[in-house]
């Protein structure tokens, strides 16, 4: 299935566009790089089942949150009723950092059990083919690599999650050892 998200907005120069950290970003606030009030493609990615238990994702502009097999939160994912983006980060903003750009994922789901592996290079650097400035799977990609293992029932979910974040600015609360 091909998923395309179109957006338009004028939040670029406001306090709600995420400065100095992403904790104040509004969930639905956006603005095109071309300027305010322009319609733009926010996300475009493809996902397909592989057999009965696996799902593969690939995209030129896909979010980490779009590819995870479980979203363990009391707050809805991708719902316009959420206001602050930090409330959708499941209490772990450094791990669930919603990095977005070129990426791929492979998820396994069976009888409530889930295992997922995701990789997303940041859109600002991942589309640059110069490995000194960005790229995919380079030291300058500003990528997030994640592995999630969990169980989900109809009314609850539990997940273990590890994320490797290549760019501290993407992680709203840097790990204490890196301060």
pTM of the model: 0.77
Tokens at 113, concatenated: 């059990």
Q: Give the span between the Cα atoms of 42 and 90, in whole angstroms.
A: 22
Report whether pLDDT(116) > 60.
yes
DSSP code, position 32 = B
How far from chain centre, in Å, is Cα 144?
Answer: 9
The pLDDT of residue 49 is: 96
Please determine, for residue 179, whether its predicted confidence score (pLDDT) is greater than 50.
Answer: no
Average pLDDT over residues 68-83: 67
Whether residue 25 contacts residue 97, with contact meaning beta carbons closer than 8 Å, is answered with: no
Name the burial class of residue 164, with classes exposed (0-12), middle (13-18) and buried (19+) by CB atoms within 10 angstroms of its CB.
exposed
Report, in angstroms and rounded to the nearest whole number, the Rg of the chain calculated over CA atoms. 16
For 29-48, what is each residue's pLDDT tens digit?
667 677 777 888 889 999 99
Mean pLDDT of 72-80: 61
Among 17-26, 69-78, 111-120, which stretch is predicted with the lowest mean pLDDT? 17-26
Contact 43, 59 (CB under 8 A): yes
Cα–Cα dist 163/147, whole Å:
7
pLDDT above 90: residue 149: yes
- Check pLDDT > 70 for residue 168: no
Q: Confidence class of residue 75 from pLDDT cuts 50, 70 and 90?
A: low
Q: Considering the chain, what is the average pLDDT of its residues?
A: 77
């Amino acid at each position: 299935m091909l998923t395309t998200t179109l957006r338009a907005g004028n939040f670029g120069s406001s306090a709600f566009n995420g400065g100095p950290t992403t904790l104040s970003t509004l969930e639905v606030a956006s603005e095109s790089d071309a300027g305010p009030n322009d319609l733009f493609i926010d996300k475009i990615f493809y996902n397909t089942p592989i057999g009965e238990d696996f799902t593969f994702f690939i995209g030129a502009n896909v979010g980490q949150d779009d590819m995870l097999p479980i979203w363990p939160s009391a707050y809805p994912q991708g719902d316009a009723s959420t206001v602050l983006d930090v409330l959708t980060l499941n209490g772990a903003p450094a791990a669930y950092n919603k990095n977005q750009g070129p990426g791929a994922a492979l998820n396994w789901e069976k009888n409530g059990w889930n295992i997922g592996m995701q990789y997303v290079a940041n859109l600002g650097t991942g589309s640059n083919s110069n490995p000194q400035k960005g790229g995919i799977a380079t030291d300058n990609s500003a990528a997030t690599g994640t592995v999630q293992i969990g169980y989900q029932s109809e009314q609850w979910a539990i997940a273990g999650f590890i994320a490797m974040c290549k760019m501290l600015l993407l992680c709203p609360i840097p790990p204490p050892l890196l301060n």
